[in-house]
Structure 1
């Protein structure tokens, strides 16, 4: 079958890498893609939120399956767009409907959903500009640090964790009245800080049944020791050593099952991924947030560990027959290291020539912010490459990724040297 992947990052290159292995994949398209996807698929320059352009591509290339990588098109309703269109509704789409995508599109909706289905999460209140004074007062009832979340999509950067009450009150005002995060911050969720260690649990569902994918842990801060500004992710490992059987049983019973049952109870069309951002407090799991797609860079360690034919798995998801699937997972651990442009996550330069890609051994390099220019691969984003390796455990895997990072170069290249430090 002909398959389209929407997106341009490391997540989408990983999907392309896994799907291209399948005998069921005839032609593979990635829109817009990057220099890495260009090697194994056909890149098509279009915006992932230009639904009409996506439709024309699907019809022109006789595409039978579409995998939606990023959250924007899902929150804007691309699945509903396909389901409503007589020419498109036969296409198997991996991704939830607009109603389902609200779990990521609105932090407030996610918190209400968790409350309704008794899913453990931090206590919270939400505020708008007109209730700014009440929000500032609510902050005084909490212990530091203070957690402020923009309600809408803010490219993974809409969460502030602040130690000072004065600073928290000032930032709340910035978000609600000075448009710090634009429309995404029209509503702000303030929640209690949970002290623990974070991990990600990914669930694939057809809306009725589910499969829990390998666990992962990513490293969001730019600086070593998890210091500095939040990024889209500087590295990841899978599986997570502290997520043992007893803990994962709690996660399944208290979080995964009630989540899927909630989707069913509300008759939400949901055929795709639920990314559950968790925190382990003592021995107990709490939900920090939902995302409605795979995470990045977690995808780069989760998907390569899945040995099942991903096209077949996605066909079952689309057909509502996920209960017929047995997922095969590599026993080996995986680790990925993200190489970023100097200055990221703030201002950075593009167009830097990347050298050394041909020297990589025993690792997979997934492209994120790359492009081709005059026959050379150049940087075109903040997060540029992710080097994924396998090993007996995450330590052996990340060691291989570091060895290969030393073979790569672009001007002002930066990476963290402590992925897995807290384990």
Structure 2
């Protein structure tokens, strides 16, 4: 059934046919998959790209003179260009393939160990995933730098006025997620980047949760670094990208040593390759990179504006219906947020609710969502998180609401 959104028709049923997993049953019920913030599902065109690689041109890249190697190299580098254009990076070599967002963050954090000294300050937001907290804590331990935190409020929004007070001439790096994985809050990264740059600080933006919903323009944002995982946006696991401004990537030391990232090697001295190979040691996830490009093709064909509009309608509908349940508490009601609802029912543990929903074929995430400081702020052990994608339906949300009601009745 097509869903009418303002003046466009979004054919969700047609889209769902591209996702074979949505046809399966769980515990005898049709699957309703609401764990998209953890990983999205994979459409047939992306699966086809994976099968095509292994069936027709599986070979190592860059170093081979034979036909398969050259074809694989062309496809892999073609995917890099697709990603460059999608995020509007100025140059293709500003796109570094990684194993995912965590890898990209660690690459940058490790590199900044070269620039920081005792007493320097780095700033993180209170809304971060652990992968954008722990690497910086480790960096502070190595360098003596001081970690400062942008506080959040009860709506799940960052207190920008407090950030302005934190920024000073000692600030060297600021890092913030574009969208909170735990609450769905869209952070004011344009303002954060501009303020950080006013004191000469570099900015890393964790785009893992934004990229499935928002088509980020890294040049317009003026971000120094932007990191993304493919598996959040219809691609495979184990691959992602780090975007970095050329001048920063030139300054950072290599993160790993090995093949591909060198220009010359002897036992006295090694010289490093130019970008992007300087940061891509060893045989990469060739198939994953190619499939990431196919995933971007697929989502762009649907249209990110259309995806965002449809998901917003799902969010509004689900929020309204869930709020009608007695004892419902939604965490994170920012003015601007993506299609994520984190909630609890008074007196019930989120794990118990999630377990019962699974018995009804409804997949949600429970726990602290790798964002323990957020849960500590609200003084809770965790939440039930329902995160929506463009292949979800209003009928599935109705099942979620009825499932929560049934779970509540069984647990009370």
TM-score strictly above 0.5: no
Choose between structure 1 and 2 for higher RCO, CA contacts under 8 A separated by at least 6 residues: 2
Higher strand share: 1
Q: Which structure has the greater CA radius of gyration?
A: 2
Higher helix share: 2
The TM-score, its normalising length taken from structure 1, stands at: 0.28
